[in-house]
Chain A
Amino acid sequence: MGVALRGAGPILETRGATARFGAFTAVDGASYRLEEGETAGIIGPNGAGKSTFFNLITGLVLPAAGSIHLAGADVTRLPPHRRVKSGLVRTFQLVSVFDALPVLDNLTLAVIHADPSLASGPGFLLGSSRRGGLEEAGVAALDRVGLSAKANWLTSELSYGDKRKLEIGIALALRPRVLLLDEPFAGLSDHEIAEVLRLVKAIQGSLSMVIIEHKISHLLDMVSRLSVMHEGKIIAEGKPATVLEDPTVRRVYWGGGQGRGLVEARGTRKAEA
């Protein structure tokens, strides 16, 4: 079944994926599908298991049960770098870039990964990392996220928002087929949020994307499908508007009060009894 679906089936699929830390189950039998070219959202309160779900998909955490499939191929046991080779790329909730390197050097490995002819064999080992084509590719990747003017800065000197853009720039330079963004708007100013939002909208459709968000507001007009995680389970899924009307979802957010900010952001609180 799996092999026959290649190309036609979902680009990313998890079947009953489960993550355990000791006796604690952080992700509990999550079955999820992402179609080619789709932009989907995952929301849920803090600690729901969203980031751990990404960790499962990308291989940072090995599943206690279930399987993960990329373009029809079972990647459950593949190490992270092999999944990246198959086009699965992610960012981290806490921005993760290389602070001690110049900004441009953060892109070098990514652009080479996408186009090995830029530095293959001896060129990778002994050729300058600042030579013609390689440097140009790096600067072009920086340009995409509006950071080319800061190419020679030390990364630690960037603002948090710029680091976030840099991390997205690195992810795009890897030429992903599937891009997983973990709370790309968290910790940014309104202005920076608008910038990142514009960036994400610009790439939408050219690749398949899953975006985790804590607040729904940024996602609503962007995603075709919204999934809600709660205590490790995907409790609801569908068109954003439908999902928000779902009684279980409303109980989770409005009953517990954890998701209050999320709902307020949409101004749908009027429905509360």
Chain B
Amino acid sequence: MTGFLNSTAAARLRRFDLPILATLFLLLAWAISIQRATDFIIFCVFVLAYDLLYGHMGRLSFGHMLYLGTGAYAAALTAEHVSANPFVALLAALLAGGVVGLILSPITVRTTGACFALINLALNQVGYFLVLVALARWTGGEDGLAVTFSKVGPFDVGDKVMMFALALACLVGVVWLMRRLTDSPFGILLRSIKQNESRVRFLGYDVVRAKTLAFVLSTSLSAFAGGLSILNYAYVTPSFIDTGRNVEVIFASLIGGAGSVYGAVAGGVAYMLISNFLPNYVQRWEMFLGFALLLLIFKFRAGIWGSLVARFGPRRAEGT
């Protein structure tokens, strides 16, 4: 049995993945509205950041809203106190995510499995409390903060088309980066750690260093997504760091097929479609999401992307 695509055709398609991706999101914007598509895109960046740890390195975090929130508040506070330039805010978000990740990595990186998941959750809870209560003087507590961004030349984040274009450019950049990262020897190192961390040490690699790097990359990019959200919404509230919302990115990652760059994007879009449109038709839509997840876990372990590849993708050499 051969796949729908042979491997050269698949490789050729892959060369054009970024334009194809951009086109699909333009179509999506046309189909559902440009603001919603911007939302989808930013969420996809978050899923990509999340899946670097989960899909590629096998670390399931229940507390990634902390890093998204770090970026969101960093962007908002930068806009408020430092500079109203949206690009400065975005850079601040990225750096804040990196710094927080670096500070927390000695605690998180040495753990695996449930411990890793729960430590991140606990830290997320602490972050939520800080934002809501302890640092309420700066964060605006429950009310949050409204921020205004200045124009940079003709560029205005308040313009929904320009904001869409910025978000799409960022997504394309992040997809490119993730693809390079995961196709590289570093990607092999992450997948080897996922499979058998102890064995990797006997190949001469410092696994703690590799895991720290992956963790910090993931927290930075999550925070970058948080910063983009603030550019898009022009306000920040504690919902950006709410532990209860971790489930969104976990679901998206599972739906798309963890461990694949395209899968993460597919999962992000699929989750957003479900959560944006299902409530229009079904009252307790979360229940259906739960059923969908059960189905995924028991029937389609590979997720949307994995199933597509299995169905239409190239096959490896047969026989022998």
Complex contact A129–B195 (CB within 8 A): no
Task: Verify if B185 is at the interface (C-beta below 8 Å from A).
Answer: yes
B317 at the interface (CB under 8 A from A): yes
> Which chain A residues lie closer than 8 Å to B177 at the CB level?
126
Shortest CB distance A26–B (Å): 18
What per-residue 1/0 map shows which CB atoms of A2-33 lie under 8 Å from chain B? Answer: 00000000000000000000000000000000
> Chain A 183-218, CB within 8 Å of chain B: the 1/0 string?
000000000000000000000000000000000000
B204 contacts partner chain A, Cβ-Cβ < 8 Å: yes
* Inter-subunit contact A119/B185 (CB<8 Å): yes
Question: CB-CB contacts of A104-118 with B at 8 A, as 1s and 0s?
Answer: 010011101100000
Q: How far is the CA of A113 from the CA of B210 in the complex (A)?
A: 14
Return chain A residues, CB-CB under 8 Å to B188.
101, 105, 108-109, 129
Would you call B186 and A81 a contact (CB within 8 A)?
Answer: no
In the complex, which residues 184-213 of chain B have their Cβ closer than 8 Å to any Cβ of chain A?
A: 184-189, 191-192, 194-196, 198-207
Q: Which residues of B contact A124 (CB under 8 A)?
A: 184-186
Question: Knowing A60-B198, A99-B195 touch, does A112 contact B317 (C-beta < 8 A)?
Answer: no
Size band of the A side of the interface?
Answer: 35 or more
Give the CA-CA distance A81 to B189 in the complex, in Å. Answer: 14
User: Is B12 on the interface with A (CB-CB < 8 A)?
Assistant: no
- Are A174 and B204 within 8 A (Cβ)? yes
The complex places the Cα of A130 from the Cα of B184 at a distance, in Å, of: 8
Chain B: number of interface residues, binned into ranges: 20 to 34
A115 to chain B, nearest CB (A): 12
Complex CA gap A90/B204 in Å reads 11
Q: A residues 138-165 with Cβ under 8 Å of B?
A: 152-154
Residues of A within 8 A of B185 (CB): 108-109, 112, 119, 123-124, 127, 129, 134
B287 CB to closest chain A CB (Å) equals 33
Q: A81 touches which one: B181, B195, B205 (CB < 8 A)?
A: B205
- With both chains docked as a complex, state the minimum distance between the C-beta of A100 and any C-beta of chain B, in angstroms: 5
* CA gap between A80 and B202 in the complex, in Å: 6
**B181 A126 Cβ-Cβ under 8 A:** yes
- Bound together, the chains give a CA A125 to CA B231 distance in angstroms of 30
Q: Evaluate contact between A170 and B203: CB separation under 8 angstroms.
A: yes
Question: What's the nearest-Cβ distance from chain A to residue B178, in Å?
Answer: 11
**C-alpha gap A152/B318 in the complex (Å):** 11
